[in-house]
Chain A
Amino acid sequence: MKRALLYLGLALGALVTIGPFLVMLSTSFTGQSYVLQLPPRLFPEHPTWSNYSDVFGLDNFARYFLNSVLVAAGHVVLVLLLGSMMGYAFAHFDFPGKRLFFGLILGALMVPGVVLIVPQFLVARDLHMLDSRIGLVLFYVATQLAFITFLLRGFFASVPRELAEAMEVDGAGAWRVYRSLMLPLARPALGTAAIFSFLFSWDEFAWALTIINDPGKRTLPIAIALFQGQHSTAWGVVFAASTVAVVPVLVIFVIFQRLRGAGLPAGALKG
C-alpha cells in the first residue's frame, strides 16, 4: 500500500515533468489550423509532418543547426583544453600569485552572466568580434572557464603528485605529464565537463542575441526565438524547430547518464 503510494507519487511528478515536452511534441505534429484548439489533444487528430518539412524548408534552418554545432564544438574543445591546463597548474604547482588568480576564478563563479554583457559588447566591438561565430566561441570559453577550471582542478588534485614525479624522474617534461598522464586519467571528469560545456553553448541565448545580426550566423536558440517573435501563432513550426534542437541533446544526455551510471558531480552544475 505504502509502496503503491510512493510509485503513484513518483509517476504523477514524472507526468508533470514530461507534460510540457509532450505538448511540444504533439503540437509539432499538429497542422496550423488545429493548433490551440480546445480541448488540447495529446495525440493530434490529423498528425502531419508538414511542420517539419516547413522547418527544413526555411532557407537557413540547416545553417542555424550547423552554426550551433560548430560553435559548440569549438567551445567544448577550447574550454576543455584551456580549463584542463589551468586546473592542472592550480592543482600541481605552487607559484607566486596562485591565491590571487584562484580568487579571481572563484569570484567569477558568482557574477551573473547578463551583468557583464554591456561592457563585453564594447570589448567585442573593439576586437571586431560582433557578428562573428569566433566571437561567440571566445566569449563562451571565457565565461565558462572559471567553472571548468574549478571542476577539473578538483579532479587533478586527487591524482597523487608522486605519479607525476615518477614520470619526471624518468625525464618527462610537464607537458608530457599533462598529456600522457593527467588527461587520460581525467577522462571521466573531462566527459562531465564536455557535456556541461556543450549544453551551455547549445542553449546560450543572451550573448548570441546581442552580438549576432547577420541571419546567416544565427545559432538555434536565437533563430527559434526570433522566428516565434515574427510568427507568433505558428506554434506547430516553432515546436517542430524546438524539437529538432532539443531532442538530440536529451538523447545524448540520457545515453551519457546510462554510460556513467552514477550521478553527476552534484555540487557544480547549475545550468
Chain B
Amino acid sequence: MTATMHDVRPVGTRPTGRARAARRRSAKQKTLTAYAFLLPGLALFVALMVWPMVQALRMSLYHWNILPGAVSEFIAGDNYSRALHDPVFWRGFVNSAAYALMTVPTQMALGLLVAVALNRKVAGRTGWRTLYYLPVVTSWVVVSLVFKYLFNTDAGAVNWLLGVHIDWLGNRWPALVALSALGVWKGVGWSMLVFLAALQQVPRSLLEAAEVDGAGPARRFWHVTLPQLRAAMAFVTVMLVIGGFNVFISVFLMTGGGPAHQTETLLSYLYNQAFTFLDFGYGSAIAYLVTMLIFGLSLVQMKLFRYGEEDQ
C-alpha cells in the first residue's frame, strides 16, 4: 500500500526501476523489522520451552543420571516399555481418565444450566456471573487446602452434611470423588462463561420462527439452541478433557498420590518419579506419553465434533 502511494508521484520524477528497487528494499526492511519485534520473545520461548521439549525426548531415551557431568546410559525405548508395564502408571491413567469422566460432563451440564439461567432477563446479571466465576480465579493451592479441610474424616463439613463417616482422602475411589468435587466446583464458572457468550450469539429470529411453528420452550432449546452451541460444546469439551488429564495440584496437596500410590494421577506420578525418586529419564518418558495422549484425544474430539467446519 505504501508503495502504491509513492508511485502516484508525477511521472518522470523517479525512474520506475529505482522505485521497484526501493519497494524491494522496503519489503526486506519490513522483514527485518518483523524479526526484530519477534526476536526477544521468540529467543526466550525457544530457549525455555522448545529446547526443553527436545531435551525431554532425549532424556526419555536414557537412564538419566542427574549429576552434572555424569554419563547417562542410552537405553532406547526402555523407559517407555517400563511405563507400559508399570501398574502404577496404568492406575494413574485410569485415575486421570476417571477424573475426566466425572468432571467434564458435570461441569458442562452445570455450566450450561447456569448460562441458560443467566441468559434470561435476570436482575444483577453481571453480579451473578462474577460470583459464579470466582472459584476459577482463586488459587489452586488455597482451594485444595479448603477442600482437604471440608473432606476431613472426623469433623469435615461434608461428612457432617451427609451424616456419614467416610475416610474420603484415605481411599482410592472416595478420594477421586473428593478431587472431582473440587474440580467441578472450580470449573463450572469457566464453562458457564463460554456457554453464556455462545448463547448470546444464537439468532433471535430462529427462536421466534420456532415459536411461531408451535415449539414449546423445551423443544426450542433442544432443536434450535443446542445445535447452535456445537462449536462452543466442542471447544469446552476439548479444553476440559485437557484440563482433566492435567489434574495435579489438588492431587499433590489433598492426597499426595497416596496412600501407597492409590490416588496417583498421570502428572502426580510423573512429578513423583522425577522429583521424589529423581528418575528424570522415566519421568520424561511419562511426560511424552501424556503429551501424546492429550494431543491424540484432542484430535479425536475435534474430528468427532467436526470442529472448524461451518454449520448448515
Contacts and interface: CB of A to CB of B under 8 A. Distances in A.
Interface of A: 6-7, 9-10, 13-14, 16-18, 20-21, 23-24, 27, 36-40, 82-83, 85-86, 88-90, 93-96, 98, 101, 104-105, 108, 110-123, 125, 138-139, 141-143, 145-146, 149, 161-162, 165, 168-169, 174, 178, 199, 202-203, 205-206, 210, 221-222, 224-225, 228, 235, 238-239, 242, 245-246, 249-250, 253-254, 257-258, 261, 263-264, 266-267, 269-271
A145 B39 CA distance: 13
Interface in B106-148: 110, 114, 117-118, 120, 122, 126, 128-132, 134-143, 145-147
A270 B56 CA distance: 25
A250 B118 CA distance: 21
A271 B56 contact: no
Interface of B: 1-2, 5, 30-31, 33-38, 40-42, 44-53, 55-56, 59, 66, 68, 110, 114, 117-118, 120, 122, 126, 128-132, 134-143, 145-147, 149-150, 152, 154-157, 160, 185, 188-190, 193-194, 196-197, 235, 239, 242-243, 245-246, 248-249, 252-253, 267, 270-271, 274-275, 280, 283-284, 287, 290-291, 294-295, 298
Interface centre among A93, A139, A168, by most B CB within 10 Å? Answer: A93
B2 A142 contact: no
A114 B271 contact: yes
A52 to B, nearest CB: 16
19 contacts: A13-B110, A36-B155, A85-B38, A93-B33, A114-B271, A118-B280, A118-B287, A119-B51, A119-B52, A119-B53, A119-B55, A119-B284, A120-B52, A174-B37, A250-B138, A253-B134, A263-B196, A263-B197, A267-B197
Given A118-B280, A169-B5, A228 B185 contact: no
Nearest to B142: A242
A123 to B, nearest CB: 5
Main secondary structure, interface of A, reads helix
Contact of B1 (A88, A161, A245): A161
B139 A112 contact: no
B146 A242 contact: yes
B41 A23 contact: no
A117 B274 contact: yes
Given A14-B128, A17-B134, A119-B53, A203 B139 contact: yes
Given A110-B298, A119-B53, A86 B146 contact: no
Please give me the 5 A-B residue pairs with the lowest Cβ-Cβ distance, nearest first: A93-B34, A142-B48, A82-B41, A119-B52, A89-B37
Contacts of A24: 142, 146
A95 to B, nearest CB: 4
B55 A112 contact: no
A17 B41 contact: no
A62 B160 CA distance: 36
A165 B280 CA distance: 52
A263 B132 CA distance: 13
A264 B193 contact: yes
A18 B143 CA distance: 11
B193 A117 contact: no
A174 B38 CA distance: 13
Contact of A112 (B118, B120, B242): B242
Contact of A17 (B48, B135, B284): B135
Contacts of A242: 139, 142, 145-146
A35 B35 CA distance: 59
B48 to A, nearest CB: 4
Contacts of A210: 275
A269 to B, nearest CB: 7
Given A112-B245, A174-B33, A146 B45 contact: yes
Contacts of A90: 38
Given A36-B152, A82-B40, A118 B284 contact: yes
B120 A38 contact: no
A228 B256 CA distance: 13
B109 to A, nearest CB: 13
B34 to A, nearest CB: 4
A122 B235 CA distance: 34
Nearest to A173: B33
Contacts of B239: 270
B42 A169 contact: no
A16 B31 CA distance: 54
B147 A20 contact: yes
Given A112-B290, A249-B138, A123 B248 contact: no
Contacts of A118: 56, 59, 270, 274, 280, 283-284, 287
Contacts of A258: 126
Interface centre among A174, A235, A267, A271, by most B CB within 10 Å? Answer: A271
Contact of B196 (A112, A178, A253, A266): A266
A266 B129 CA distance: 12
Contacts of B49: 108, 111, 116, 142-143, 145-146
A101 B274 contact: no
B106 to A, nearest CB: 13
